[in-house]
Amino acid sequence: RQQLYRELRDKPTATKDGVKIDLLMNAGLLVDLPQLVESGAGGIGLYRTELQFMVASTFPRAEAQERLYKDVLDAARGKPVTFRTIDIGGDKVLPYFKGVQQEENPALGWRAIRLTLDRPGLLKTQIRALLKAAGGRELKVMLPMVTELGEIAQAREIIDKEVRHLSRFAHMLPNTMKVGAMVEVPSLLWQLDELMSAVDFVSVGSNDLFQFVMATDRGNSTLANRFDPLSVPFLRTLKQIADAGKRNNTPVTLCGELAGKPISAMALMGLGYRSISMSPAAIGPVKAMMLELPLGQLETFMQENLSGKSATLPMRALLQAFADDR
């Protein structure tokens, strides 16, 4: 199989009926970067910047952050990279970060964008490092755990201020800059059109979105097989986001674990996703599936099943049967 995947690597990433779909990879450490060439990924759809913070014993200095972001962009050689601002808090604790209280519900707590807007020094340093590292190149920055649109406005203010600061000192700025948000908190589902006009792109964090939509701790192994992301309610949730992206002309990606399993990647394509980001090892199997996928047939199949009156259809089994038949 490894041999097969290697042969597929340089084939265009399109379905059997010729629809182009971007297969991107998730990364977070320098050791991940050689995978960009080996896997044939079209870019890095999610770069988890908090990993540098998690493996350190103190806050990484501005210079170390800038160095890392430069190395990542150099390794990507012009392929797009989406840097997510630090997603710490929740289950990702930094032992050296004092002043964090024990929380009863850390997943719902002081984390990600909530934390960095309250400690703007952290966000400023990171944004400045990103802007400097991406001088003369494209910079894509993504905000995690956005709940209200005001958080995007606040983050944008910090970004704009850093841009002004660097240009005053004649630093080379990125030649294009895109700001996006993760869709992983359900409140965004009822403000999708406003969200899409507030950002340049969105990426669905299906790990957290599933946890919050189903009220099910993503790390609890007792519950791990109880609810299915390939169920009617969750698939309808994902479809709403893809539809809103189309309606608003806003690029939508999905970068949770769901993207890395061929059967669920197939479902995502059937829902309208044209860009998904996954662990590098998943790209071969997902691409092998995609090259055999008659997407038009799948879209009709999913429309019929998801718009019907039953929320209890066994979608996983139906999707599996669709795949087996073809």
Decide which of ligand PEP, Mg ion, none touches 255; Cβ closer than 5 to 8 Å per partner kind. ligand PEP
CB-nearer residue toward Mg ion: 131 or 241: 241
Cβ at position 182, least distance to Mg ion in Å: 6
Inter-residue contact 139 to 130 (CB < 8 Å): yes
Query: Of the candidates 322, 302, 324, which has an alpha carbon nearest to the alpha carbon of residue 232?
Result: 302
CB-nearer residue toward ligand PEP: 176 or 216: 216
CB-nearer residue toward ligand PEP: 84 or 287: 84
Query: Of the candidates 136, 223, 148, which has an alpha carbon nearest to the alpha carbon of residue 174?
Result: 136
Cβ at position 254, least distance to ligand PEP in Å: 8
Query: Of the candidates 215, 259, 300, 280, which has an alpha carbon nearest to the alpha carbon of residue 17?
Result: 300
CB-nearer residue toward ligand PEP: 60 or 256: 256
Cβ at position 135, least distance to Mg ion in Å: 29
Query: Contact between 28 and Mg ion (CB under 5 A)?
Result: no
Query: Contact between 205 and ligand PEP (CB under 6 A)?
Result: yes
- Out of 151, 162, 208, 257, name the contact with Mg ion by CB under 5 A: 208
Query: Contact between 206 and ligand PEP (CB under 6 A)?
Result: yes
Query: Contact between 260 and Mg ion (CB under 5 A)?
Result: no
Decide which of Mg ion, ligand PEP, none touches 151; Cβ closer than 5 to 8 Å per partner kind. none
Query: Contact between 256 and ligand PEP (CB under 6 A)?
Result: yes
Query: Contact between 66 and ligand PEP (CB under 6 A)?
Result: no
Burial of 41 (0-12, 13-18, 19+ CB in 10 A): buried
Query: Of the candidates 260, 254, 270, which has an alpha carbon nearest to the alpha carbon of residue 322?
Result: 270
Query: Contact between 205 and Mg ion (CB under 5 A)?
Result: yes
Query: Of the candidates 136, 133, 127, 134, which has an alpha carbon nearest to the alpha carbon of residue 66?
Result: 133
Contacts of residue 166, Cβ cutoff 8 Å, sequence gap at least 6 = 128, 131, 132, 173
- Out of 184, 195, 250, 285, name the contact with ligand PEP by CB under 6 A: 184
Query: Contact between 239 and ligand PEP (CB under 6 A)?
Result: no
Cβ at position 184, least distance to Mg ion in Å: 5
**What is the distance between the terminal CA atoms of the chain, rounded to a whole angstrom?**
19
Cβ at position 138, least distance to Mg ion in Å: 23
Query: Contact between 32 and ligand PEP (CB under 6 A)?
Result: no
- Tokens read off for 272: 């309208």
- Out of 51, 255, 267, 268, name the contact with ligand PEP by CB under 6 A: 255
CB-nearer residue toward ligand PEP: 44 or 298: 44
Cβ at position 256, least distance to Mg ion in Å: 7
Decide which of Mg ion, ligand PEP, none touches 256; Cβ closer than 5 to 8 Å per partner kind. ligand PEP
Footprint on this chain of ligand PEP (rule: CB under 6 A): 46, 48, 87, 184, 205-208, 255-256
